[in-house]
Amino acid sequence: MSSPASHPLDDGRTTSSALITALRGQRPERTPVWFMRQAGRSLPEYRALRVGTSMLDACLNPELASEITLQPVRRHRVDAAVFFSDIVIPLRLAGVPVEIVAGRGPVLETPIRTASDILRLRPIDPAALDPIREGVARTVAELDGTPLIGFAGAPFTLASYLVEGGPSKDQQRARSLMVSDPHAWAQLLNWCADVSGAFLRAQVEAGASAVQLFDSWVGSLSRHDYQRRVAPHSRRTLSALRGLDVPIIHFGVGSGEVLDLMAGIGADAVGVDWRIPLDEASRRLGGNVVVQGNIDPAWLGAPWDKLQAHVLDVLERGKSAPAHVVNLGHGVPPDTDPEVLTRIVGLVHEASVGALVA
Ligand code: CP3
């Protein structure tokens, strides 16, 4: 890009959008809604574009990544776009051989398990982030007033893929390294924090108006270990955003025991999974933290009247927080009927301006 455009949070394009208003702790006229994994296999237009391109190659193709990011915004009229990428992209950009296997997730040829493996990890060359910057800039140029959310994986979730070599049930090898070699663990999590931090900062500088830190597997940790051995590194990831006044959402699955700690590392909002009702989450958060969530993804296939009652219940419970961003409790399952997502967006928008009596 020869002359970078000004940032949407600076020139006012997204400043008073429903999402940014809510993340700043105020109640917008209409409750914002977006979906984790809104771009992806639930959309036939996504499946068509992806033919012949691997997942991570698609992420690093700015034109493709931008188009895939825009697809769900056009289709569902959600209140935010989320940049099409993956939490393992920073690993790839730092030279770690990683692939995404369909139906399974990220897989590494050679897991990182010893102190000497960890010492060999290199930082990201800033130029390697160019496709990310370009993908974000292209997307933001098309979005007008709709904010783009950038994201990254939190150090624990990333480290669990590195140590396990792929998806795992309880992240046992990773948690075992945490106790058996705390020094190597801290080095590994710092490295993860730094590559994720660079990835986040590149997205915000190129025009993202908010970010979400995904600590998807945080639910396998005890509160004590999260607090002592993980949270400081997540905080370090966010320190990469210093000086950029961008709202931060912090999300985890099975995070009920650590919600307050997740807010405490400097997040503006906490993403809650489907296990805890939002009024209970809000109580655990002390009543002064913005919440995001938490439609149960399993309900997306239920008859509409049941799903509608569930969504209205989520909206009602979300009133216990200073502001609420509607989302699912985790990502959109690939077999979801996309019409259902569009219908939820309509319902949330209507119900939250009072047009629909619950
Ligand atoms: O729309 C969006 O939410 C933005 C895109 C996005 C993807 N991955 C695209 C993707 C986001 C935010 C992610 C984050 C991500 N990636 C997380 C954190 C969120 C979460 O779900 O907890 C995690 C744990 C990963 C790692 C990962 N990548 C997994 C577990 C998988 C699923 C593997 C499978 O096939 O079921 C991926 C692949 C992936 N990332 C896909 C997409 C659209 C599917 C790949 C495909 O289309 O072939």
Q: What is the DSSP annotation of 297-352?
A: GGGGGS-HHHHHHHHHHHHHHHTTSS-EEEEESSPPPTT--HHHHHHHHHHHHHHH
- 187: which 2 tokens? 């080095």
Residue 188, in any domain of the structure: yes
Q: Which of 87, 107, 139 to mutate to test the pocket of ligand 1 (most atoms within 8 A of CB)?
A: 87
Residue 30, in any domain of the structure: yes
Does the pLDDT at position 354 exceed 70? no
| Separation of CA 300 and ligand 1 centre (Å) | 18
Quote the pLDDT of residue 353. 79
- Which atom of ligand 1 lies closest to the CA of 50? 47
Q: Could you say which of 13, 161, 226, 229 is catalytic?
A: 161
| Separation of CA 87 and ligand 1 centre (Å) | 8
Other beta carbons within 10 angstroms of residue 93's beta carbon come to 24
Q: How far apart are the first and last CA of the chain?
A: 49
Q: What angle do CA 28, 34, 37 make, to 5 degrees?
A: 160
- Taking only the tens place, the pLDDT of each residue in 135-146 is 999 999 999 999
Pocket of ligand 1 (CB under 6 A): 36-41, 50, 55, 82, 84, 86-87, 100, 102-106, 151, 214, 216, 331
- Taking only the tens place, the pLDDT of each residue in 79-133 is 999 999 999 999 999 999 999 999 999 999 999 999 999 999 999 999 999 999 9
Exposure string of 48-61, with b = 16+ CB inside 10 Å and e = fewer, is eebeeeebbebbbb
> Is 86 among the catalytic positions?
yes
| Separation of CA 10 and ligand 1 centre (Å) | 30
- Taking only the tens place, the pLDDT of each residue in 267-305 is 999 999 999 999 999 999 999 999 999 999 999 999 999
Question: CA-CA distance, 75 to 242, in Å (whole number)?
Answer: 34
Does the pLDDT at position 3 exceed 80? no
Residue 131, in any domain of the structure: yes
Average pLDDT of every residue of the chain: 96
Question: CA-CA distance, 73 to 26, in Å (whole number)?
Answer: 23
| Separation of CA 307 and ligand 1 centre (Å) | 24
Residue 2, in any domain of the structure: no
> Is 41 among the catalytic positions?
yes
Quote the pLDDT of residue 352. 83
Does the pLDDT at position 34 exceed 50? yes
Q: Domain tally for the chain? A: 1
- Specify the residue with its C-alpha closest to ligand 1, atom 27: 105
- Which atom of ligand 1 lies closest to the CA of 47? 47
Q: Could you say which of 50, 173, 235, 284 is catalytic?
A: 50
Residue 7, in any domain of the structure: no
**The pTM is what?**
0.96
- Taking only the tens place, the pLDDT of each residue in 315-341 is 999 999 999 999 999 999 999 999 999
Res. 151 pLDDT band, cuts 50 70 90: very high
Residue 195, in any domain of the structure: yes
> Is 50 among the catalytic positions?
yes
- Which atom of ligand 1 lies closest to the CA of 72? 1
| Separation of CA 334 and ligand 1 centre (Å) | 10
CATH number at residue 195: 3.20.20.210
- Which atom of ligand 1 lies closest to the CA of 214? 18
- Which atom of ligand 1 lies closest to the CA of 39? 1
Domain extent at residue 262: 18-357
Residue 49, in any domain of the structure: yes
Residue 146, in any domain of the structure: yes
Quote the pLDDT of residue 2. 44
